[in-house]
Amino acid sequence: MAKYTRIEVALKMEEQGMVPLCFHSDIALSKQVVKAVFDGGGRILEFTNRSAFAHEVFAELSRYVKNELPGMCIGIGSITDAAAASFYMMCGADFIVTPSWKEDIARTCNRRKILYAPGVGSLTEVC
pLDDT in tens, 39-93: 999 999 999 999 989 999 999 999 999 999 999 999 999 999 999 999 999 999 9
| Strand, helix or coil for residue 115 | strand
Which residues have a Cβ under 8 Å from the Cβ of 7 and sit 6 or more positions away? none
User: pTM of the entire structure?
Assistant: 0.93
21: confidence class by pLDDT, cuts 50, 70, 90: very high
Q: What is the pLDDT of residue 59?
A: 98
| CA of residue 126 relative to chain centroid, distance | 20
Q: CA 84 → CA 40, 43, 68, 93, distances in Å?
A: 30, 24, 26, 11
Q: What is the pLDDT of residue 124?
A: 73
pLDDT in tens, 24-40: 999 999 999 999 999 99
